[in-house]
Amino acid sequence: MSDTSPRIDRPLPRVTLREGAAHALRQTVLTGRLAPGAPVVEAALARSLGISRAPLREAIRELLDEGLLVQHRAWGGVTVAPLDATVARELYTLRTALEVFAFEHVWDRRDDAFRSALSKSHAALTQAIDMRDDEASIAAEFALHNVVYEAAGHGLLLQSWSAIRGRLALYWAAHHRAHGRPGPRRDAHDDYIRHAIGPDLDAMREELHDHMQRGLSTVLRFIENRKEQAS
Amino acid sequence: MSDTSPRIDRPLPRVTLREGAAHALRQTVLTGRLAPGAPVVEAALARSLGISRAPLREAIRELLDEGLLVQHRAWGGVTVAPLDATVARELYTLRTALEVFAFEHVWDRRDDAFRSALSKSHAALTQAIDMRDDEASIAAEFALHNVVYEAAGHGLLLQSWSAIRGRLALYWAAHHRAHGRPGPRRDAHDDYIRHAIGPDLDAMREELHDHMQRGLSTVLRFIENRKEQAS
DNA sequence: GCTCTGTCGATTGTCGACAGTAGAACTTTG
DNA sequence: CAAAGTTCTACTGTCGACAATCGACAGAGC
C-alpha cells in the first residue's frame, strides 16, 4: 500500500477564526496599534476583523491569560496591559529563575545540535543588529533564548516561558517604538553564548543574573523616561 | 465627607455564568466525576449546568489554559487531562524551582505574620490528617504552600504557581480517590516548617528538593500501579 | 447650590439557531 | 471477504439578536 500522495511534514493547521483573531489581536497589541492602556471594544474590533463577537471574545480571553490584556472586573471592559515597573521587575526576576532552571536541565545533555543551534541563532541576531532591523533583532533574541528552553525538553517550563515571553514582547515592542535603536547591543550576548557552551554551570548562572539585570535596567530606564514624559 | 452608608466587607461578587461554569467544571474534574481522559461534550454539559454553550465554551478555554483539560486539534473535542508520569515529573521539578525562588524572595522579609501564618496552616494540616479528612488534608497542604507564595509578593510567581497548582490538584485528587489514605503523612512537613522558619536558606533549599522528591515518588508509584491495573 | 434618583446610550454577557467538520455506520465494488 | 467510497450523525465553530449592566447625564427635591 504505497502512498502516491506527496509527503506532508505536518497536517496544515485547520485554523479557526478564534485562532486567527488571537494572532491578529496579538500582533495589533505588539505593534502598538493598540497602545498600552487603550480600551479594547469587542463590537468595533469584531467588525474590523470581519467576524462575529463570539470567536473574538474567546481570543480576548486567550490574550487575557497571556497578560497582554487586562480586565478589572466583569462588565468593566478590557484594556491593553499598561507598562509597569513592578511587573517589569517581576518579569526579569522570574525569567532569570526559569532560565537558570532550563540550563540546569539541559547542561549535561548539551550536544552538537544544541551548540550549533545556539551559535546559529546568535549569528542571526548579530546580523539583524548590523542591518539595523530592529524588529528582526527582537525576534532573533527571542529565538536565541528559545533554543535553550526548547533544548531543556520540559513541556511545563516551555509553557511558563511562553506566558512570560508574551509580556516581555510587550515591553520590548514599546521600547522599540519609542527609540530608534531598541534592539540589544551587538555584543550583549557574546558572554552568554560563551558560557552556555562552556564547561562551568556556575559561571553560566552568574552570567544569567548579569544578563537579566542589564536587560531589566534598560527597560526600567525606558519606563521611567516614559512616565515623566507623560506628566 | 464622611460616609454614612454601612460598611460592607466586600463588594458582592458580580459573578458571570462563565465564572460559575468554570468553577463548577473545575470541581467536577477535581472530584473525578469527570475522570482523566473522559471526553467533555459542550452541549451535554451546558444542559446539565442550565446555561447556553457560549459561556461554557469560554469556561472550557479557561480550564484548557490551566491544563485540566486538553484539546488535540480543532474539531477534535476536548478531554480531561490524562495522568502521565512525564508531566508529573515536570510538575515537581518546576515546582521545586518556583518554591526555591519564592523562599529566596521572602527570606529576608520573613516577619512574625509570616511565621504565624505558616505554623497556623501547619497546625490545620496536622489536624485534618488526624481527623482522617482526606479532602481537607489536600486543601490544607495547598494552603500551607500558598502562604509562602503569597508572602513572596511576586504577582507573576503567584500566577505561575496557580498554573501548576491546578494540575497538581488533578494528580492528588486522583490519588485521593484511589486509596483510602491519600493525604500527606502526618510528619511530612515538620522539617519543612522548621527550616522555613530557621536561619539557613541553603538548608531550606535542600529540604525543598527532598520534600518534592518524596512527593513525586508517591505520585509516580500511584501512576505506575494505576497503569498496570488498567492493563 | 448640592445631593439623590431616574433615564439613556454604549458595551458586555448570554442565548438559540445555523453551518461546517470528523468520524462512525453503511453500502458498494473488486 | 476486504478495501474503497458514500451517507449519517454527533459534535464543534460561528453567527445575529436579545438581555443585563455600567457610566454619564439631566431633572427633582431639599
Q: What is the pLDDT of residues A90-106, one digit of tens each?
A: 999 999 999 999 999 99
CATH value of B17-80 in 1.10.10.10, 3.40.50.2000, 2.40.170.20, 3.40.50.300? 1.10.10.10
Residue B222 in this model has a pLDDT that exceeds 80 = yes
DSSP string, B48-98: HHTS-HHHHHHHHHHHHHHTSEEE-STTS-EEEPPP-HHHHHHHHHHHHHH
Residues B49-78: tens digit of each pLDDT: 999 999 999 999 999 999 999 999 999 999
- Helix (H) or strand (E) holding A69, with range, is strand A69-71
- Helix (H) or strand (E) holding A80, with range, is strand A78-80
Within chain A, which residue ranges are assigned CATH 1.10.10.10? 17-80
Give the CB-side neighbour count of residue B20, counting CA atoms within 13 A.
Answer: 12
Residues B4-53: tens digit of each pLDDT: 555 556 667 778 999 999 999 999 999 999 999 999 999 999 999 999 99
Residues B93-149: tens digit of each pLDDT: 999 999 999 999 999 999 999 999 999 999 999 999 999 888 889 899 999 999 999
Q: Which residues of chain A have pLDDT under 70?
A: 1-13, 180-183, 230-231
φ, ψ for residue B154, nearest 5 deg: -130, 100
Q: Give the other-Cβ count within 10 Å of B82's Cβ.
A: 12
Looking at residue B82, its pLDDT comes to 95
Within chain B, which residue ranges are assigned CATH 1.20.120.530? 85-230
Looking at residue B227, its pLDDT comes to 76
How many residues does this entry show for chain A?
A: 231
Cβ-defined contact of A163 to B164 (cutoff 8 Å): no
Cα–Cα distance, A57 to B176 (Å, whole number): 37
Looking at residue A1, its pLDDT comes to 42
- Looking at domain B85-230, its CATH architecture is Up-down Bundle (1.20)
CB < 8 Å to B88, chain A = none
Cβ distance B184 to A116 under 8 Å?
no
Find the distance separating the first CA and the last CA of chain A, reported in whole Å. Answer: 72
Give the CB-side neighbour count of residue A179, counting CA atoms within 13 A.
Answer: 18
Looking at residue A2, its pLDDT comes to 40
Q: If you measure CA to CA, which chain A residue comes closest to B11?
A: A73
Closest to B226 (Cα-Cα) out of B160, B177, B159: B177
Looking at residue B1, its pLDDT comes to 45
- What are residue B78's DSSP bridge partners? B40, B71
Tell me the nearest-neighbour CA distance from B74 into chain A, angstroms.
7
Cβ-defined contact of A154 to B91 (cutoff 8 Å): no
- Nucleic acid strand C within 7 Å of A43 CB: yes
How many residues does this entry show for chain B?
A: 231
Q: Provide the grid cell at A86.
A: 513592578
Percent of chain B as helix, strand, coil, to the nearest 5: 70, 5, 25
Q: Any idea what DSSP says for residue A7?
A: P
**CA A222 distance to own-chain centroid:** 18
Cβ-defined contact of B90 to A163 (cutoff 8 Å): no
**CA A90 distance to own-chain centroid:** 15
As a rounded value in angstroms, the CA-to-C1' distance for B5 and C4 is 14
Tell me the nearest-neighbour CA distance from A224 into chain B, angstroms.
21
CB < 8 Å to A164, chain B = 156
- Nucleic acid strand C within 7 Å of A150 CB: no
